């Protein structure tokens, strides 16, 4: 049997040409793997057939949407994961899952290597290969676009010469990645950061300036995970899909950011994440209601570290795993209802309630019934500020000694 390589296959030009290109360059049989993470678009069976038509010795389709929602998006939500405070890690979440299936498929079908269609200047190459290194260190990773010099121009020529069944166009100016957590986009004219985005870029969201009648929803969480909308129980995947539609209608979750890539450069990125943005807003509000102050403050800093780690491709690292255990533990009381108004690009929390609430009306109120003993504060403040007081005395003495 020949050696084999499993290629992460999208159905597009680059990876379709990649099948033959890999075979030519390495002599290996190419197995195509298409993973459904909710990217929508074409039928997965059509994609599978195309892979075979392009020369794959085998083609495998995996529906990983539920797994993606349960095991990748929900941990990200618990972590309120937002790279640079804004970006919910769309591609950073799908890459490790696809890499997992690359490793599984390589193992099942006897391949000694895996391949992906990423370029050499993005984050996704790192995410794929770091995940493979952690899951199946014996596998070799190949990146035809980067390692075998498969440029777009060469791909078009190759496809034409080999009559590959793919539309060939130099025109589409957008570099796009999609999954159920969001849509990412880079494009030429936005490479000047002074140029504003145009309405034509967006697909998951309508223009927030075209204001629709407001929608009010109640999201119910149990231990950090959304379980129902307006009282109707739904799976995480269903909730994400439904919120994409609803929040997308109101133009929620558009992001336009100068981003620090792991490979050391800055890039301009456009994202659309209607469900992710809405869920994170709601989840944070519920945490503010149910987490103790010190834990809440600490977790916010861990969240930034978690987002950096995952952005940087270290999903399967030991640190990421231990941070997950920490974050999971923090969620034991994060249960309750958050009411939001969706409109005009904004998901606004208007109510929060929980049997796990740490908000204590009797302590908080300024009305009759207040149980807070204000006389305690004097002692608290005295000791709280004692280090400042002592050092102020030191400084005053210093000045005195110095004759100032």
Closest by CA to 271, choosing from 197, 214, 341, 215, is: 197
Of residues 25, 44, 133, 176, which one binds a copy of itself by CB under 8 A? 133
Burial degree of 85 (CB within 10 A; 0-12, 13-18, 19+): exposed
Report the binding-site residues for ATP. 8-16, 117
- What string marks each residue from 348 to 367 as x (binds a copy of itself by CB under 8 A) or -? xxxxxx-xxxxxxx-xxxxx
Query: For residue 62, what are the β-bridge partners?
Result: 35
Q: Is 291 in the site for a copy of itself (CB under 8 A)?
A: yes
Residue 117 has, within 13 A of its CA and on its CB side, a CA count of 25
Of residues 59, 90, 93, 130, which one binds a copy of itself by CB under 8 A? 130
Chain positions 47 to 76 lying near a copy of itself, rule: CB under 8 A, are: none
Reported in sequence order, the residue ranges of 167-253 that DSSP labels E, i.e. its strands, are: 174-179, 182-187, 215-222, 225-229, 232-233
Chain positions 184 to 203 lying near a copy of itself, rule: CB under 8 A, are: 186, 188, 191-197
Active centre residues (catalytic)? 14, 95, 124, 175
Q: Is 293 in the site for a copy of itself (CB under 8 A)?
A: yes
How many Cβ atoms sit within 10 Å of the Cβ of residue 205? 25
- How far, in Å, CA of 293 to CA of 270, rounded? 34
Of residues 27, 222, 382, 399, which one binds a copy of itself by CB under 8 A? 382
Q: Is 126 in the site for a copy of itself (CB under 8 A)?
A: yes
- Of residues 36 and 324, the one with the C-beta less far from a copy of itself: 324
Query: For residue 272, what are the β-bridge partners?
Result: 183, 254
Segment contacting a copy of itself by CB under 8 A, of 4-12, 33-41, 158-166, 207-215: 207-215
Shortest spacing between CB 140 and a copy of itself, in angstroms:
11
Q: Is 160 in the site for a copy of itself (CB under 8 A)?
A: no
Q: Is 165 in the site for a copy of itself (CB under 8 A)?
A: no
Specify the DSSP class assigned to residue 196: P
- Of residues 2 and 377, the one with the C-beta less far from a copy of itself: 377
Q: Specify the residue for token string 């959304």.
A: 226
Report the binding-site residues for L-citrulline. 87, 123, 127, 175, 259, 271
CB neighbour list of residue 332: distance below 8 Å, 6 or more residues apart: 223
Asked if residue 205 lies in contact with residue 199, where contact means CB atoms within 8 angstroms, the answer is no
Q: Are strands 336-343 and 215-222 parallel, antiparallel or unpaired?
A: antiparallel
Report the binding-site residues. 8-16, 87, 117, 119, 123-124, 127, 175, 259, 271
């Amino acid at each position: 049997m020949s050696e084999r390589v499993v290629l992460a296959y999208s159905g597009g030009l680059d990876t379709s040409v990649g099948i033959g290109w890999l075979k030519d360059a390495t002599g290996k049989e190419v197995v195509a793997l298409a993973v459904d993470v909710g990217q929508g678009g074409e039928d997965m069976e059509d994609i599978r057939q195309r892979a075979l038509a392009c020369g794959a010795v085998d083609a495998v389709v995996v529906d990983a949407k539920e797994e993606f929602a349960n095991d990748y998006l929900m941990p990200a939500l618990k972590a309120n994961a937002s790279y640079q405070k804004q970006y919910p890690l769309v591609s950073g979440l799908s890459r490790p899952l696809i890499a997992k299936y690359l490793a599984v498929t390589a193992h099942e079908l006897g391949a000694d290597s895996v391949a992906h269609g990423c370029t050499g200047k993005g984050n996704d190459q790192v995410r794929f290969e770091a995940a493979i290194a952690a899951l199946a260190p014996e596998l070799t990773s190949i990146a035809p676009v980067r390692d075998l010099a498969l440029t777009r121009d060469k791909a078009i020529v190759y496809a034409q010469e080999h009559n590959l069944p793919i539309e060939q166009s130099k025109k589409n100016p957008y570099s796009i990645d999609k999954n159920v957590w969001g849509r990412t986009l880079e494009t030429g004219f936005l490479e000047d950061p002074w140029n504003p985005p145009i309405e034509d870029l967006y697909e998951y969201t309508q223009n927030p300036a075209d204001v629709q009648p407001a929608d009010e929803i109640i999201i119910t969480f149990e231990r950090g995970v959304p379980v129902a909308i307006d009282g109707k129980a739904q799976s995480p995947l269903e909730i994400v899909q439904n919120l994409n539609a609803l929040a997308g209608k109101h133009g929620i979750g558009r992001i336009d950011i100068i981003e620090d890539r792991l490979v050391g450069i800055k890039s301009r990125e456009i994202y659309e994440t209607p469900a992710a943005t809405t869920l994170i807003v709601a989840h944070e509000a519920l945490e503010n209601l149910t987490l103790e102050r010190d834990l809440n403050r600490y977790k916010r800093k861990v969240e930034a570290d978690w987002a950096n780690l995952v952005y940087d491709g270290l999903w399967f690292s030991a640190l990421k795993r231990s941070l997950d255990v920490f974050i999971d533990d923090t969620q034991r009381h994060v249960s309750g209802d958050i009411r939001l108004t969706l409109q005009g690009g904004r998901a606004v929390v208007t109510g929060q309630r929980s049997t796990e609430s740490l908000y204590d009306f009797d302590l908080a109120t300024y009305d009759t019934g207040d149980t807070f003993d204000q006389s305690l504060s004097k002692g608290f403040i005295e000791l709280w500020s004692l280090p400042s007081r002592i050092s102020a005395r030191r400084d005053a003495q210093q000045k005195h000694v110095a004759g100032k």
